[in-house]
């Protein structure tokens, strides 16, 4: 069973998905790799962990939260899972290049594969794929759009911890 809810945010309307126990997705309306609104999905604003996820996202956008503490269940390959886990280690307000992220994973030549896995992250914001930038320091590749990525990074710079 897949549950969903939607919340308004400074970046866009965000759709949260859940298996009833953990978050399985956090998507913007124009999310590049989102699979949204299948017929069998059930809207339930109170399904776990939606109330807590909403609260934590509101705190994040207000600058009062730098880390999320939510049950997560992203679906992906073992390599994607490793990349997404490593993304959660990037400190609030900081950025890292795809190459540096690949090096952290033990393979500095895997920046393309890391970029592809980063782009498939189903739990945006909470798993901070927006903190990964191009080798030249420019903002590149964000599933929710570069405008959303800019807002997320600006939010973190506006509220340093």
3-state secondary structure of 123: strand
CA-based nearest residue to 96, from 68, 132, 127: 132
Active site residues: 129
Residue 10 to residues 30, 71, 78, 93, 107, Cα–Cα distance (Å): 14, 23, 32, 17, 36
Bond preceding residue 46 cis, omega within 30 of 0: no
State the DSSP H helix or E strand holding residue 61, giving kind and residue range, or none if neither. helix 50-61
- Report DSSP state, residue 82: H
CA-based nearest residue to 12, from 57, 44, 49: 57
């Amino acid at each position: 069973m897949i549950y969903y809810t939607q919340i308004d945010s400074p970046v866009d309307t965000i759709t949260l998905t859940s298996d009833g126990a953990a978050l399985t997705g956090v998507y913007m309306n124009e999310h590049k790799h989102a699979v949204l609104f299948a017929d069998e999905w059930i809207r339930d604003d109170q399904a776990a962990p939606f109330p807590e996820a909403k609260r934590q996202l509101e705190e994040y956008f207000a600058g009062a939260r730098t880390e999320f503490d939510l049950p997560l269940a992203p679906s992906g390959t073992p390599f994607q899972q490793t990349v997404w886990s490593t993304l959660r280690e990037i400190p609030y307000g900081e950025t890292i290049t795809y190459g540096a992220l690949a090096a952290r994973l033990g393979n500095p030549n895997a920046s393309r594969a890391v970029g592809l896995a980063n782009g498939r992250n189903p739990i945006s914001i909470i798993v901070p794929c927006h903190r990964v930038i191009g080798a030249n320091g420019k903002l590149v590749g964000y599933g929710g759009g570069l405008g959303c990525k800019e807002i997320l990074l600006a939010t973190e710079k506006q509220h340093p911890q």
